[in-house]
Every structure is written in C-alpha cells, then in structure tokens.
Amino acid sequence: MHSELVGKAGGGKVRASSYSVKSAVLAHLGGSGKHSHMPQPVLIAAELKNLLGPADLADLDITWLSADQPTPKGDYVAIVPLLSRWVGGTEFKNLPALIIVANCAVGYDNVDVVAAELRGVIVTNTPDVLTDATADLTWALILACARRVIEGVDVIRSGTWTGWHPQQLLGLELRGKTLGIFGAGRIGQAVGRRALGFGMKIRYASRTPKPDFERETGATRLELGPLLHESDVVTLHTPSTPETKGVINSDTLARMRAGAILVNTARGDLVHEEALAIALEEGRLGAAGLDVYTDEPAIHPRLRAAPRTVLLPHIGSATRETRRRMAAIALANVRAVLAGQPPLTPVYRP
C-alpha cells in the first residue's frame, strides 16, 4: 500500500497509510456518514473555554475536561488536550471512536504518535502561531539575565537599597556580544532577527543550513561545541528528541564561556536541572533564564534556590492573541476532520 510521510519535529518521520481522511471519518461514524449531521461528542480542555467563541464550538457536543480529571472512556470522536495531558495506548483503547487528537500546543510530546498510527487516529498541533510570542519572551529572559532585573527588584522590595552606587548590580552589555542559537527553526530564527537591534553577532547550530537566515542576519552555522565556546548568550530552540534530551549537562555546561547566560524556552528536558544549578552555584555560569522544566510543574529544588536565575511558569505563548489563535486552530482541525476534510496542521494523518 502506498504510504505518506508526515514530518515530525526533530526531523523524524511517521509512516501513514494513504486512505483518505474522509474514509477514516466515515468508518468511525458508521460507514455512511448518516450521523454526520448530528453534533459529535468531543472532549475539550476546560482551560480553553474562555478562549473559544460560539463559531468554534458550533455543532459539537462538548464535554469540558479540566486538568485534574482523568481522560474518560466513551464514544468521543475528538479530543483537544493541553500539553499536560497524556494521550496514549490506554486512552486510545478507552476512546474506540476517536478520530483526531487536536493538541493545543506546538509540541506533541504528550501524544503517543505511534499508538495513534496503529489505530488510524489523526494527530494535529498548533504550529506557527506562537513564534513571535515565544521569541519575545526569550528576549525578556535574555535582558532580565543580562541586566540582573530580578536582583534589582529584590533590592527594592527588601528595603535594603541605599542609593546609587557605581558598582551596584553590574550586568552584561549586549552590543558586540555573541548570541548562540541551538535550533534554528521558526522561533530560533525570530530570536536571531531580534538580536540585530542589539548589535549582537549570531551563531547557530542546526541540522540543516539556513541560507536565508544567514543572509538576513549574518549568522554563522557551527556545531554545538564551538557554539557553546564562542557564545556569551546561549538560547535553546530545538525539539526534544532522543538526541537532544539532556543536551545541556555538566559536560556541555563546562564548555560554555565563563559568565555566559543560558536561556531555555523550548523543552524542559533539554537541560539537566541539577547540573545547571551546580554551574550557577559555583559561579561558572553568569545567569540562567528558564520558562520550561523537565517535570513540570515540579522544579529541582537546587535549581529553585540557585543564584542569578530568572524562572518563569511556562508562559512562552501566553499572550491573549496567541492563546486564542492556538485554541481556534485546534478546533478548526477538529471541525475540518469531522467534515471529512484533511486536517489543517497535521503531525500524523492516515
């Protein structure tokens, strides 16, 4: 049988049979589609309720599913989960009529794509919409680390500020410094373009060259080792894969410049949290700004207590505009598939 290959983050591929989405939908709805005019039962993360309008939800029989509730059994044809809800073999078994998992996130580490393939369940995500929001937050972290913003706020709030001093909270001036970008996809490139306004030199590590990005920004492609050695600020924008999990560890941290800044708005498990905490405690690393963590919402206690950190609660895409677009795209995928049309942003489709 002819198969279609659908790209995955990190460069992997998922093999899928070529029967049409329409056929898959009709099979789940009883073969003829005779019930397709009736509202179809759909599970949607309750946290999205205020981000969706009536048009997004029309003709759907919705069950709102809060984060503290287990995924129920039933004849639901679609589920719209957040990144925090695992959807794998057990869930597919308990949802025998499921046609689509419309993840409300750009990532899909919470979905067992192989199990979805085996059951012919479509998986979608919400790419592209959060590029600018995440790039902006990356720069918020870079600036907060470079200019010791959190330490300054603490001085004021503690009532210990005694007035201006020429050596108080001296930070890093960015002009002329080097920004190292690990992972030059859409977000990584957006972060790099913003660096031009700060007069920074740009280095990037990526599986493939990015000639347009290089022409636009003057960026130079390096392997990870030289990038770590040359960069004053290292920012992570690569997917989590078996090759990249734990890529920032005691060995790679030792290869970074003394006093360098590390920023992660990509995936928490790229960074070994205790190793990062030790590098900060020992003064080898200048600062770290993180928005993602290995085992959210838990954070390694040593990292929470480490000096010169800016730790945020996974708010990279947290603008009203972006979150509304994410929710709308997830529901648009559901509505397209239930209407017998191809998904708009597939990770995997049969």
Q: What kind of architecture, by CATH, is found in domain 131-311? A: 3-Layer(aba) Sandwich (3.40)
Provide the pLDDT for residue 37.
65
- Predicted TM-score (pTM) of this structure: 0.84
Query: What span, in angstroms and rounded, lies between the C-alpha atoms of 226 and 294?
Result: 25
Residues serving a catalytic function are 267, 296, 314
**What letter represents residue 200's amino acid?**
M
Give Rg (Cα) of the chain: 23
Let me know if 74 is exposed, middle or buried by CB neighbors in 10 A (0-12, 13-18, 19+): middle
Pairing of strands 178-182, 78-80: unpaired
Q: Is residue 100 very low, low, confident or very high in pLDDT (cuts 50, 70, 90)? A: very high
pLDDT of residue 32 exceeding 50, the answer is: no
Q: What kind of architecture, by CATH, is found in domain 3-128+322-348? A: 3-Layer(aba) Sandwich (3.40)
Domains in the chain: boundaries: 3-128+322-348, 131-311
H helix runs in 129-223, sequence order: 131-146, 149-158, 186-195, 211-217
Give the 3-state secondary structure of residue 195.
Answer: helix
Give the 3-state secondary structure of residue 84.
Answer: coil
Q: Is residue 21 very low, low, confident or very high in pLDDT (cuts 50, 70, 90)? A: very low
Provide mean pLDDT across the span 298-320. Answer: 97
Provide mean pLDDT across the span 232-239. Answer: 97
- How do residues 266-295 score in pLDDT, each as one tens digit? 999 999 999 999 999 999 999 999 999 999
- Domains 3-128+322-348 and 131-311 belong to one CATH topology: yes
**Token pair of 154, please?**
């603490």
- % of the chain surpassing 90 pLDDT: 87
Neighbouring-strand partners of residue 151 = none
- How do residues 136-151 score in pLDDT, each as one tens digit? 999 999 999 999 999 9
Nearest to 336 by CA among 81, 56, 53, 113: 56
- Maximum distance among all alpha carbons in the chain? 78
**What letter represents residue 169's amino acid?**
L
- How do residues 176-192 score in pLDDT, each as one tens digit? 999 999 999 999 999 99
Query: Within 10 A of 230 (CB to CB), how many other CB atoms are there?
Result: 17
Q: Is residue 29 very low, low, confident or very high in pLDDT (cuts 50, 70, 90)? A: low
Which secondary-structure segment (H or E) carries 24?
helix 21-28
**Token pair of 214, please?**
């290089």
Provide the pLDDT for residue 350.
75
**What letter represents residue 110's amino acid?**
N
